[in-house]
Structure 1
Amino acid sequence: MSDRYSKNPSTRNSESPDLDLYVKGTPFYLHKETLAKKSAKVTSLIECNKIDELRWILRDMDIDPETFFLVARFCYGLKIQLSSENIVSVLCVSYYLEMNDDHSSNNLLNKAFTFLEQRVLMSWNETVKALRVCSDKILDKMTDVGLIEVFLDSLVEKALNDPGLLEDLITLPLRLYESLIIESSKHNVSKENLVASICNYAKRWVFENVSGDESVSRHKREVIEAIERLLPHQRGAISCGFLFESLKESIFLDACSDCQKGFEVRISKQLDMATAKDLLVLLSKEDGSYDIDLLRTILKSFYSNYNVSDVSRLVSVARMLEEFLFEAAASDAGLRVETFKALGEMVVAASCDVLRYSDEVYRAVDVLLERHRDLTESEKMEACRVLECKKLSPKACEHASKNEKLPLRIVLQVLFFSQNQIRDKVAREMKGAEEKTEEVDEEEEKDDEIDDMNKKLLRLDIESDYSKRGERENLECVVHCTNKKVEEKKISVWREVKRKFGCMTSFTVDACNCHIKKRKKTYHRYK
């Protein structure tokens, strides 16, 4: 490689090279005066007789020998080929060496800027190509030159017209990518497109990068921390699956506490949108255990941010947790009883006073006992401590009462609560039947009173020989008498009802056993 770079540029000059210049250890044999004609910085070093410094003039610049080869060729008057891949490095070198038109007309810095404006910035793809190859040191120089703002403004302008272009930026260096997303968000670029781009960037540099190299892990940690900073906090803006996976990676990569906390808060805001499988992926560790403390932290955060007006979120989380407990027991053959119990206690606490039935908890217990047939009776009882028999549906009670895997004590509890369920159901049915019967009797009494009133009014029409005054007085008398009879008849009806049930005082449940007698007759009918 050294021969290649030492021969070509200086062949234009018949004199022997008088400068050995090194770029990343690669020597270039050049002529000082030739470089000085194009570079004000080289001129200054020669005038100050700083030859040693001149030899390593580019040691602080992270440029490759190929880039400097182009610069040297330009100094010797040879044709150079600029491209999107080398334009940034050429610009930075020519700026550093002060190759401007003030020092020499039609100099390299001016040519490079012209190429950038006309051939690179006009195209989204060429702009991305130019930025893709930039190292951190080159980016530092770009910042000094003011090129970062130029590139960002160009990309943001194009992204505003077509937000879908943001998904093409996953190959950019993190430093550039983060600046670009921040700048795009300031200009009201579609949030959906920003989130899609951020998620794709994380997949490219974190989730799909499986290398265990220390430098790679460090870069992944930097990326996941940047991802957390860039993601919006709005509920539902990011999928639960992505948030769960990001939190798990942030823990594995030992990211900063702010990063982990940020993902936890976002998850807690939309925990009701998550699935049992999402939670299973998050909490499972490489050794097969579960991160119980993490689950407790997330649940605590969720309930602390809970809005009382939205009970449906509590129900969704409770159901999701019960499904998670079942999935954990069904998918993990090595799940220990202690771990199952610890998870189950949190699940039961979440469903308390929220769900009427907790059949999924029973299913989880059943599948755990099925997969661990060697458990002792005491271990089975420990596993069953998360089971609330009173929250089993009739169907689940029927299954549990015949389940030979359950401890006998649990089966007896199930039978007891099942009997209570049947008794309560019968009581409700009898109460409903009583209320329906009373409503029918009241309607029949009302119909009879209306018929009597109609007959009396009809008789008044037939008696036409009354005077108007007498007719009016007679009508008022009849109506008054009729109303009085109606009231007396209503009272007599209630007295008769109370007499039949043996309670002539106030008609209350405490004052009589009427509903008990009625219940016996109705019970035989339903039985």
Structure 2
Amino acid sequence: MDAPSPKTSSLTLSPYSSPNVAALLKIRIMAWSKETGLPVSVHVRVGGRVFHLHKCPLISKSGYFKKALHTLTEIELPDNFPGGPEVFEMVVLFTYGSSTLIDPFNVALLRCAAEFLEMNEDYGLGNLCERSDLYLNQVVLQSWDDTLIVLQKCRTLLPLSEELLIVSRCVESLAFMACMEILDPERRRETPIITLEHLASRAWSCETVKEVASQDLWIKDLIALPFGFFKRIIGSLRRQGMKEKYVSPIIVFYANKWVLSKKTHQFWENINDTENKVSVILQGILDLILMREKASRVIPVGFYFSLLARGLHLGLKSDSMAKLQDQIAASLHLAVVCDFLLPESETESISSSVELATMQYIVSTSISPNRNTGHVLSDRYSLVAELWDRYLSVVALDPNMGHKRFMDLVETVPISYRQNHDYLYRAMCTFLLEHPNISQEEKVSVCKYLNCQKLSQEMCIEAVQNEMMPLRLIVQALFVQQLNTHQAFRDCSDSFRYAHYGDFSGSLSSSKCLNPKSQTLGETPSQEAEAEAAVKPLGLLIQKDIITQRSEFSREDYESTSFRIQNLEQEFMSLKRLISKGSEQSHPGNERSLKMFGLGGKTLSKKRNPLGQATSCIGSVSFASQRKCASRLLKIFHRIALFGKIKSKRKSK
């Protein structure tokens, strides 16, 4: 069988219209009466019309009339006669010896009518049954457009068209031609085959998917079929060997058109028993679509999210919902946060919505230990944690979200799975901004899982300046910034030591860097000073690899850089002494105050004095004063870090 290239047919009405058939039939009846000299003797009622015919032509071609007219002269055909009076006119014209015009629009009707009237080979060679089958096999099933037309006409002829194998022949023919369309290299030389790979990393959009589906006209034709026929074609495509990466997009496009599209929702609203019909199609899609690991490679996870959202609205069966949720959990790391479920109604509270509860269940299932046999946390878990934290930034906008409920959502993903806390910080900031009236204790509770060491430099600087953050978190962020500054000093000083030892002797004040072993958040500035004193002179730090690097910098560059580092260090130490002196004057018994802000699990002890100032381990100074000092510190940190980066780049050149 040849496989013509599928193209969308311009469906037109059959040229053999009813008025022409009626006129021809009238002429044939008059000619028969004149030739034989016999008047009409049979009256056949079909629908609301009565046909006055001769007995002999009817019984010579039809077993049904031969039996019925044996004793009767008036016959009424049942209401389920295929095609009604229009098709009966064509059948009668055939019995009078006229060549009936058969086309894709009426061949299924004529075949079913001929079967009903028993117009088979027992009542003459070349009868209507044989001629209709011959046209189906040799004409219709060789053309994509004609086969689609016939299959659409079979919808009103069930179950007779099914019994006559018209439907199955059309289904198999369409599946065969679709497979040939995929396999034929000449037709696919310039036009790529449609897959879903480029939609995997994008948010699900019905309009985008619709545009993709319209690129191949044969797919557009298939997804326009009723679901019963479509389901059978998908089964035939798989039986005939089409690869799943080409079959799955067809199913996705069909679901997008009839289940997910908002325009289709309006179409279903005008049909009775809408929800039941849509739910039947959705259930059928779930039976057709791939699940488990094979699906994650060819079907975007956003499609499953869309099906899940529609299923929640339609009240899908619990087993089907569980199947969808498990599939999403298995491929959640491939999703984008825009796919996550949110209530459709803007007035509905997010915190108590079924969508949020469903998302929490999916995330907890996705990171379940049963899904990973190894002890090392995979990148998959960190991706899920990042997606969840970004989703929490949206959920936190709900004014009805309590801090306990928010903490419950944060704890859905274990804190150890989060390699970066930037998105968690954003979610907490959003929650604190939308809930300004919560107490300090509740703020501390909300932010207790935030680790400043896992914040990027930009987020850490922002946390120090964020007035909504608890004081303990701000001090931790300051310590992290201080460690980063010391590391910048160390990198910058080491680069000059190794580069200029041959030209200069002695040690620079900038060489008083921290010992790397002492750079933990639990250590205090007094311990850092002891570590600085333990650093060896510059002349003892290196004894080789000098000559090859001496030409990189000039003497003037070195002196300028050395002077700049000394000034920065002096400014930094002066500011530290100023803070320490102010703290001692306001609270003399507080010499070891900074030790209490490590990450070793110690908490910030603070109380309120009558003037409304916070008395804590860093002295009785107002929050405004502390933030002013912190702001000055940040400026120094930023200058030092920027300076270190510039010198590192020059060294790399």
Task: Give TM-score scaled by structure 2 length.
Answer: 0.58
CA distance in 2 between counterparts of 1:299 and 1:361 reads 16
Query: Paired residue for 1:238?
Result: 299
Aligned with residue 314 of structure 1, among 368, 371, 381: 381
> What SS class does the counterpart of residue 162 from structure 1 fall into?
helix
Q: For the residues of structure 2 that align with 1:395 and 1:189, how far apart are their CA atoms?
A: 51
Partner of 1:376, secondary structure, is: coil
State the partner residue of 2:28: 12
User: Shift of the alpha carbon at 1:180?
Assistant: 0.9
Q: Partner amino acid for 1:415?
A: I
1:221–1:516 Cα change, 3 Å: closer
Residues 230-284 of structure 1: CA deviation (Å, up to 9, x unaligned):
11122222112222112212222333334333322321221101001011xx333
Distance 1:114 1:347, change over 3 A: farther
Aligned residue number for residue 72 of structure 1: 92
Which string of whole-angstrom CA distances, capped at 9 and with x for unpartnered residues, describes residues 360-416 of structure 1?
A: 12223333554x47x423499479726633356254343233323x2xxx4213124
**1:325/1:344 contact within 8 Å kept:** no
Tell me by how many angstroms 1:174 deviates: 1.2
Q: For each residue in 1:4-30, what CA deviation from the matched residue of structure 2 results, as whole angstroms up to 9, or x when unmatched?
A: 99876455335456434234xx43424
User: Does residue 301 of the first structure (1) align with residue 365 of the second (2)?
Assistant: yes
SS of 1:21's partner is strand
Give runs of aligned pairs for residues 420-431 of structure 1, distance below 5 A: 421=480
- The one of 32, 36, 40 equivalent to 2:59 is 36
List per-residue Cα deviations over 1:194-239 (Å, max 9, x = no partner).
1121122122222241221334443322222221111112222211
**1:87 maps onto 2:88 in alignment:** no
Alignment pair present for 1:27 and 2:49: yes
1:148 offset after TM fit, Å?
A: 3.0
Conserved? CA contact 2:443–2:470, under 8 Å: no
CA distance in 1 between partners of 2:458 and 2:20 (Å): 84
Q: Distance in 2 between matches of 1:276 and 1:379?
A: 31
- Structure 1 residues 362, 195: closer, same or farther in 2, change over 3 A? same
Larger Rg: 1
Q: Which has the higher contact order (CA 8 A, sep 6+)?
A: 2
> In the alignment, which residue of structure 2 is the partner of 1:363?
426
**Can you give the 5+ residue segments of structure 1 that lack an aligned partner in the other structure?**
441-514
Aligned to 1:318, the other structure's residue is in SS state: helix
- In structure 1, what is the equivalent of residue 343 of structure 2? 284
2:139 aligned with 1:97, yes or no? no
* Counterpart position of 1:253: 314
1:151 matches 2:209: no
Change in CA separation of 1:204 and 1:189 when aligned onto 2, cut-off 3 Å: same
- The structure-2 alpha-carbon separation of the partners of 1:379 and 1:191, relative to structure 1 and needing over 3 Å to count, comes to farther
Q: Secondary structure at the match of 1:29?
A: strand
| Structure 1 residue 417 corresponds to structure 2 residue 476 | yes
Residues 383 and 416 of structure 1: is their aligned pair in 2 closer, same or farther, counting only changes over 3 Å? closer
Flag the 1:20–1:63 CA change in 2: closer, same or farther, 3 A: same
Q: In the alignment, does 2:237 pair up with 1:184? A: yes
1:398 aligns with 2:461: yes
Q: In the aligned structure 2, how far is the partner of 1:308 from the partner of 1:385? A: 32
* Structure 1 pair 130–521 and aligned structure 2 pair: CA distance change class (3 A): same
Report deviation, 1:97: 2.1
In structure 1, how many angstroms separate the alpha carbons of the residues matched to 2:310 and 2:166?
Answer: 34
CA contact (8 A) 1:2 1:27 kept: no
Alpha carbons of structure 1 residues 516 and 241: separation in structure 2 relative to 1, 3 Å: closer
Aligned to 1:55: 76
**3-state SS of 1:19 partner:** strand
Which one-letter code corresponds to 1:399 in the other structure? E
The alignment covers a number of residue pairs equal to 430
Matched-pair contact (CA < 8 Å) for 2:390–2:423: yes
Deviation of 1:169 (Å): 0.7
**Contact 2:255 2:285 (8 Å CA) reproduced:** yes
- Give 2:276's aligned amino acid: R
In the alignment, what sits opposite 1:223?
281
Whether 2:132 is the aligned partner of 1:112: answer yes
Deviations 1:326-371 (A, max 9, x none): 2445xx6xx234278646633443151011332212223333554x
Percent sequence identity is 20
Conserved? CA contact 2:363–2:384, under 8 Å: no
Distance 1:201 1:284 in 2: 25
Report SS of the residue matched to 1:84: coil
Cross-structure match for 1:204: 257
Q: CA deviation at 1:322?
A: 1.3
What letter matches 2:280 in structure 1?
A: E
TM-score normalised according to structure 1 size: 0.70
Structure with greater helix share of residues: 1
Counterpart of 1:134 (choices 119, 133, 154) is 154
* 1:264 corresponding residue in structure 2: 325
Contact 2:308 2:321 in 1 (8 A): yes
2:413 alignment counterpart:
350
2:46 aligned counterpart, secondary structure: strand
Residue 340 to residue 348, structure 1, CA distance change in 2 (3 Å): same
Please identify, of 37-46 and 383-392, the stretch whose mean Cα deviation from structure 2 is larger. 383-392
3-state DSSP of counterpart to 1:232: coil
Question: How do 1:498-509 and structure 2 match up within 5 A?
Answer: none
- Tell me the distance in 2 between the aligned counterparts of 1:379 and 1:8: 94
Q: 2:533 aligns with which of 510, 515, 521?
A: 521
Deviation at 1:183, TM superposition (A): 1.6
Go from structure 1 to structure 2 and tell me whether the alpha carbon gap of 1:321 and 1:69 turns closer, same or farther (over 3 Å shift). farther
Cα distance, 1:103–1:522 mapped onto 2, change above 3 Å: farther
